[in-house]
Structure 1
Amino acid sequence: MRIEAAELADVLVLTPEPFRDERGLFTRTFDAAEFDSYVGEPGRAASFLQDSQSRSVRGVVRGMHGRGGRGEAKLVRCAHGAVHDVLVDIRPDSPTFGKQQAFRLDDEDFRHLYVPPGFLHGFQALSEVADVCYRIDRPHDPAEDLAVAHDDPELGIVWPQPVTIMSGRDRAAGSWAQLCAALGVG
């Protein structure tokens, strides 16, 4: 498995190296020892305690979501299909605060992301069906949910396809300016 730093501070891109033959392929999607060695925190991988999966149809946007309080670290991958995945750094003291980066996650190269606490996350399904898997390091607490509109003009996120379906929660999400005010920034 290759592990590389992304442009956003502290975000990692993990790329498995599948073994392919006439049967198909086999790949290890995560290796705790390699992860811990790369981040220099023995036992860090063991802090991941909850796995979740979403299924979306083409054009669906889920996001932009984050967590308040201590935030949450997560591993995100697309197990089936393809998604346009977007991260926005919301850590006021970060050198990449307010910056975003987009990634293509798919079931071809199995690349996935380590997202540390303090990021908004969202994605758009690019394939007919896309299954996204999340492994998080804290139990979900709805009281800590944060959300910013996927089409907030200050963020200017470019979604590659027309948005087809969104949840009511995502349609009602606040603005980047509101989140910055809540974070005491600006």
Structure 2
Amino acid sequence: MGSEYEKQIEEQQTTAEDAVDESQAEQAQADSTEGDNASVDNERNAWEREKEELVNKFLRLQADFANYKRRNEESIEQIRLTANESLVFELLSVIDNFELAINSATEETSFVTGVKMIYQQLMDCLEKAGLQALNAVGKPFDPNFHAAVINEGDTNGELIVTAELKKGYLFKGKLLRESMVKVGPKQQEEDEE
């Protein structure tokens, strides 16, 4: 009986050991599954961070490109404006010569009429492009727009423009050439009227 009892105890021990082994295996598998879940969570978090970084990088690149495009368009417009301004400035001497020719004509011939028409057509085109003549005569002297080349009388007080020797022009609101003017005291002009 002793051997049977020992055998039974051995079987129970083996069964208990098997149960413990099985329990440990299940625990290891559960730990492994939890580890796998944690690993999957970590990997998912890493992917989420990377996705967020890429989205942010894309948005920054998109904003940078929009800024580049805007700056490029502004630069092109500035180049166009500068080129137009330069061309119009060169044409001012042509305008001056037209005015001299028209003013020096002694009689109104068909030739003079044709020159006046060409001059007017040129001025209309330039005005559409943004050229504007400064009308200085009778206005207060402004050194920002006028260059006084002749002074009449006392120049200590407020001065007005008495004559325009060479017209000044604005191009798109910016001074292109100042007027060359003759100035005199304001009261002298008022006394003459």
Q: Shorter chain as normaliser: what TM range?
A: under 0.3
Larger Rg: 2
Question: Which of 1 and 2 has higher RCO (CA within 8 Å, sep 6+)?
Answer: 1
Q: Which has the higher strand share?
A: 1
TM-score (norm 2): 0.22
Higher fraction of helix: 2
Q: TM-score, normalised by structure 1?
A: 0.22
